[in-house]
Amino acid sequence: MSKRGGEIIKDPIKKFKLEEIKDLTDIRSTLEKFKRLRRLHLKHWILKKETLKIIGTKKTLVHLTLLDCQIENDDLPLLITELENLEYLEISGNWNIENSLNGISKKCKKLKQLKLRKYPMSYSSVFEEILQLYNLECLVICDVENVDDNYIIQITKNLKKLKTLEFGCCDNFTNDTLQQLGQLKELEHLLLSSAHNDESIISITNNCNKLKSLRLFHCTGTSSALCELEKLKYLETLHLYDIENVNDDVIICIANQCKNLKTLKINFSLKLTEIGLKEIEKLENLECLELKHIKNITDVVFNKKYKLKTFKCFDSTKFTDQGLKKLLKNCQSLETLIINSAVFTNQVLLCAIEETKKRTNNILLTIIDMGKCHIKVGSNINSTPLLEIIHKFV
């Protein structure tokens, strides 16, 4: 349903998204008219009891997102527990989540995806509810206090259907407990931000062989254990952030075995050299490559990147403008190029202009320079509508 002038148009609106609204007085009557609403996304709203009651009448809702809304602690259960068809719930904020999720396991039995961010949470109340959501396929817990080993132990015992599990900014797990994640054999997406050693990595690679996405932060595993990532044949996305022991051997193993990789992001890997970076060219399906704070990046990284759509490289001084020109000529589907080195020269700019002029796929190339670039974007850029230059100084 939409509004034109003062007239309400009876369209079958199924998705409604509003952000940064401070006063809902004038929107309540409009919400009441949405009879078949399936998706509702609210961000930074002030939600009072009357508004929550209206939303709670939308029995067709299957997807609800509440991000940093102001909600009275005792009111949210009136909303959530009435939405018996809810399949997706994402909430973040500083209000009392224990009251908010009271009874959710009994009333929202169809819930498949639950994402909780920025909460204090006690094990005895909220988590008891989560553990009874037996059909849950996605659980995201990010920046939530008091999350410890008990959560891992109980999740692996009770939520066997999980395909996605993310623990972001949760650092209270021990390595012995992380090994139990190998029991979740249906996992396809996993994010871990706390320390994990050889045993936990090997448990995951030996047992979670359906993984398509793996994101590891601050891993303490050795290079030999990290080489075991080669067992994940279905992997499409791999993030290795702040992992000291990512070296040439690790990248060689991954490049030789993980042929389905489309996204590879590596950050702060000081042991990686030109030898390992050259092996990335074997990943023929790679669409996104991100290399941050790796000093040994040379022009070999630009070899055979024909399908690349996004390339990000920060804090590297060893590759040249010739390498960037090769990338621009070879990658006609390149959409985003983000760099902050001095190699973004006038010659690179001219090459970008000429190569985008030749494009027949109508794909816009956006080059974002994050460094202190002094080149001047002249009138030549106006000759190609498929090139955008953005300067961001950091």
Give the tens place of pLDDT for each residue, 112-121. 999 988 776 5
| pLDDT in the model for residue 352 | 95
The CATH superfamily assigned to 36-146 is: Ribonuclease Inhibitor (3.80.10.10)
C-alpha to C-alpha distance for 38 and 13, rounded to whole angstroms: 8
| pLDDT in the model for residue 104 | 86
Which amino acid is located at 240 in the chain?
L
Higher pLDDT, 211 or 145: 211
| pLDDT in the model for residue 7 | 43
- The token pair at 375 is 């080149």
Of the candidates 235, 246, 116, the one whose C-alpha atom is nearest the C-alpha of residue 187 is: 235
Average pLDDT of the residues of the chain: 85
For residues 274-299, give the mean pLDDT. 93
On the question of pLDDT at 5 being above 50, the answer is: no
Which of 16-30, 51-65, 252-266 has the least mean pLDDT? 16-30
Q: Is the dihedral of CA 55, 57, 58, 61 positive or negative?
A: positive
C-alpha to C-alpha distance for 71 and 52, rounded to whole angstroms: 9
In this structure, what DSSP letter does residue 364 have?
P
Higher pLDDT, 168 or 382: 168
C-alpha to C-alpha distance for 19 and 132, rounded to whole angstroms: 32
Q: In this predicted model, what pLDDT tens digit does every residue of 335-380 receive, in sequence order?
A: 999 987 678 888 999 999 999 999 999 999 999 988 766 566 665 6
* Contact partners, residue 134, CB within 8 Å, separation at least 6: 158, 159, 161
Q: In this predicted model, what pLDDT tens digit does every residue of 82-112 receive, in sequence order?
A: 889 999 999 887 666 666 677 888 889 999 9
C-alpha to C-alpha distance for 69 and 211, rounded to whole angstroms: 34
Higher pLDDT, 1 or 379: 379
Query: How would residue 273 be classed by pLDDT, with cut points 50, 70 and 90?
Result: very high
For residues 313-330, give the mean pLDDT. 87
| Topology agreement, domain 36-146 and domain 163-168+181-297 | yes
Architecture of 163-168+181-297 per CATH?
Alpha-Beta Horseshoe (3.80)
C-alpha to C-alpha distance for 196 and 86, rounded to whole angstroms: 34
| pLDDT in the model for residue 207 | 95
Helices vs. strands in the chain: H and E counts, helices first: 14, 20
Separation of CA 133 from chain center:
23
Which amino acid is located at 343 in the chain?
V
On the question of pLDDT at 126 being above 80, the answer is: no
On the question of pLDDT at 272 being above 90, the answer is: yes
Q: In this predicted model, what pLDDT tens digit does every residue of 325-347 receive, in sequence order?
A: 999 999 999 999 998 767 888 89
Separation of CA 132 from chain center:
26
Sorted by where each begins, the domain ranges of the chain are 36-146, 163-168+181-297, 308-393
pTM of the model: 0.89
C-alpha to C-alpha distance for 226 and 311, rounded to whole angstroms: 24
Higher pLDDT, 133 or 10: 133
R_g over Cα of the chain:
24
Query: How would residue 324 be classed by pLDDT, with cut points 50, 70 and 90?
Result: very high
In this structure, what DSSP letter does residue 62 have?
-
Of the candidates 322, 279, 284, the one whose C-alpha atom is nearest the C-alpha of residue 305 is: 284
C-alpha to C-alpha distance for 392 and 376, rounded to whole angstroms: 14
HSE of 77, CA atoms in CB hemisphere, 13 A: 16
On the question of pLDDT at 10 being above 60, the answer is: no
C-alpha to C-alpha distance for 101 and 92, rounded to whole angstroms: 12
On the question of pLDDT at 77 being above 70, the answer is: no
On the question of pLDDT at 123 being above 70, the answer is: no
Of the candidates 241, 236, 127, the one whose C-alpha atom is nearest the C-alpha of residue 189 is: 236
For residues 160-189, give the mean pLDDT. 90
